Amino acid sequence: AQSVTQLGSHVSVSEGALVLLRCNYSSSVPPYLFWYVQYPNQGLQLLLKYTTGATLVKGINGFEAEFKKSETSFHLTKPSAHMSDAAEYFCAVRPSGYALNFGKGTSLLVTP
């Protein structure tokens, strides 16, 4: 079964610093990969997704992720963190069916 592993349940960065949230997947076939963000008391919101084509995917709020097949990774980055980026981030893979398989999530803390 396809699954994802998010390294680091908590990541802390200073405002203005690079954000790097790690996600590795296991899949025997090319996967569909997603990053979702959850702000407090809100639902999951799609940040970006990789399906086919360009391996560098740009999403909302300045985030981007690069699909690296050789490393089975789909790490999420943002050049400069903002206080409003503090949230829970989930990497997910979607096999051929309907279900999204989520990682455990990474809580991003941004300090002044």
Partner 1 sequence: EPEVTQTPSHQVTQMGQEVILRCVPISNHLYFYWYRQILGQKVEFLVSFYNNEISEKSEIFDDQFSVERPDGSNFTLKIRSTKLEDSAMYFCASSDGRAGTSEQYFGPGTRLTVT
| 81 or 91: CB nearest partner 1 | 91
Number of residues in contact with partner 1 under rule CB under 8 A: 24
**Binding status of residue 51 toward partner 1 by CB under 8 A:** yes
| 26 or 111: CB nearest partner 1 | 26
Closest CA to 34 of 54, 48, 45: 48
Find the part of the chain contacting partner 1 (CB under 8 A) among 14-22, 43-51, 59-67, 71-79. Answer: 43-51
Q: Give the distance from CA 41 to its chain's centroid.
A: 19
Q: Give the distance from CA 105 to its chain's centroid.
A: 9
The CA distance from 54 to 62, in Å, is 17
| 70 or 96: CB nearest partner 1 | 96
Closest CA to 29 of 6, 49, 7, 52: 52
Residues engaged in binding partner 1 (CB under 8 A): 32, 36, 41-46, 49, 51, 90, 92, 94-105
